[in-house]
Amino acid sequence: MPKPTSPSEFVQLRNRARERRDNAIAQIRSEYEETLATIADLEQRLLGRAIPDKATLTSAVESVIPRDEQFTIADVMRALESQDPGRVWPKASVHRHITKLRELGLIRRVRRHNVNQPAIYIRSDDAKPTPNDKALREVIAEVVNKPMRTAEVVAAVLETGWQTQMIPAHFRTHVKAKLRQAGFREVSGKWGKG
């Protein structure tokens, strides 16, 4: 091959090199995606979790939820992605369906999420009820059945068995915020619907 002598020949050489590189990368990506699909197919056949090609998100989520062990939403997302790597699994939709299953009593929350750890769930036939299974807002809506002062609301929430690791002053402020979010209004120092 003759040596290039003009700047345009260098540009052409660079363009050909880029084109070869891009073709090689595209070919490797294609092989990689085929290999991932094959691995996912083998994994699903070995685990016995194969789903039809057009399975709905809800049926797919329910099929990957472990029957005998605790799980997080991240575990469900990993299982869904290994089941069908080419499909987009919206995390918000998966989370919403887990919440719906929880509301129906089919699964239970074993531990609430915090800053460092995700919530942990288990199928309801294996789960023991925990005090914090309900969200704080739900508990507040249940206990505030008459006009109550903030301290009375806090005491009523804690009497239900709802547990917190917040210091009392922070928990009181948090309860006030949840009261506002739940549609309660403070009138003359007492909270009521309205």
pLDDT tens-digit profile of 152-183? 999 999 888 888 888 888 999 999 998 998 88
- Per-domain boundaries in the chain: 1-47, 57-130, 134-193
CA-closest candidate to residue 65, choices 123, 118, 109: 123
What pLDDT is stored for residue 36 in this prediction?
81
What pLDDT is stored for residue 92 in this prediction?
92
- List phi, psi (to 5°) of 56: -75, 160
Average pLDDT of 25-45?
A: 83
Partners of 122 in the β-ladder: 108
What's the Rg (C-alpha) of the chain? 27
The pTM of the full predicted model, rounded to 2 decimals, is 0.47
- Average pLDDT over the chain reads 84
Query: Is pLDDT larger for residue 114 or for residue 76?
Result: 76
pLDDT above 70 for 129:
no
Query: Is pLDDT larger for residue 104 or for residue 74?
Result: 74
In whole angstroms, what separates CA 142 from the centre of its chain?
Answer: 26
Beta strand 184-187 pairing with 120-123:
unpaired
What pLDDT is stored for residue 21 in this prediction?
92
Cα–Cα distance measured from residue 130 to residue 9, given in angstroms and rounded to the nearest whole number: 73
What pLDDT is stored for residue 19 in this prediction?
92
CATH classification of 57-130 is 1.10.10.10, yes or no?
yes
What pLDDT is stored for residue 149 in this prediction?
93
Residue type for 161, please? G
Exposure string over 87-125, b if 16+ CB within 10 A, otherwise e: eebeeeebeebbeebbeeeebbbbbbeeeeeebbbbbee
Residue found by looking up tokens 């085929």 in the block: 34
**Exposed, middle or buried, 55 (CB in 10 Å: 0-12/13-18/19+)?**
middle
